[in-house]
Amino acid sequence: MKQACHCFSCPSCGIPVSSPSTSLFSLISHDWPKSFPNKTFRKEVCGKTPEDNALEQAENHAPNPPVPLHPQPQQPARAKTQTRPSGPGRAPVLAPPISGAHRPVDMANQVIKCKAAVAWDAGKPLSIEEVEVAPPRAHEVRIKIIATALCHTDAYTLSGADPEGCFPVILGHEGAGIVESVGEGVTKFKAGDTVIPLYIPQCGECKFCLNPKTNLCQKIRVTQGKGLMPDGTSRFTCKGKTILHYMGTSTFSEYTVVADISVAKIDPSAPLDKVCLLGCGISTGYGAAVNTAKVEPGSTCAVFGLGGVGLATIMGCKVAGASRIIGVDINKDKFARAKEFGASECINPQDFSKPIQEVLIEMTDGGVDYSFECIGNVKVMRAALEACHKGWGVSVVVGVAASGEEISTRPFQLVTGRTWKGTAFGGWKSVESVPKLVSEYMSKKIKVDEFVTGNVSLDQINEAFELMHSGKSIRTVVKF
| 7 counts as catalytic | no
Q: What are phi and psi of 469, to 5 degrees?
A: -65, -30
Annotated active-site residue in 148, 251, 475, 476: 475
209 assigned to active site: yes
5 included as an active-site residue: no
- 12 contacts 102 by C-beta, under 8 angstroms: yes
Long-range contact set of residues 431-436: C-beta below 8 Å, sequence gap at least 24: 431/198, 431/201, 431/202, 431/204, 431/261, 431/263, 431/264, 432/202, 433/215, 433/264, 433/283, 434/196, 434/198, 434/264, 434/266, 434/278, 434/279, 434/283, 435/264, 435/265, 435/266, 435/267
Which one of 51, 174, 254, 373 is the catalytic residue?
Answer: 174
Q: Is 475 a catalytic residue?
A: yes
Given 5, 10, 276, 280, which residue is catalytic? 280
Q: Which of 137, 203, 214, 440 is catalytic?
A: 203
Q: Which of the residues 84, 152, 245, 418 is marked catalytic?
A: 152
Q: Is 151 a catalytic residue?
A: yes
Active-site pick, 6, 90, 137, 221: 221
Q: Tell me, yes or no, if 114 is annotated catalytic.
A: no
- Does 317 qualify as catalytic in the annotation? no
Active-site hit among 5, 10, 217, 276: 217
Catalytic residue among 209, 301, 346, 374: 209
Q: Which of 206, 214, 324, 358 is catalytic?
A: 206
Q: Which of 173, 235, 337, 382 is catalytic?
A: 173
139 is catalytic: no
Active site residues: 151-153, 173-174, 203, 206, 209, 217, 221, 280, 475
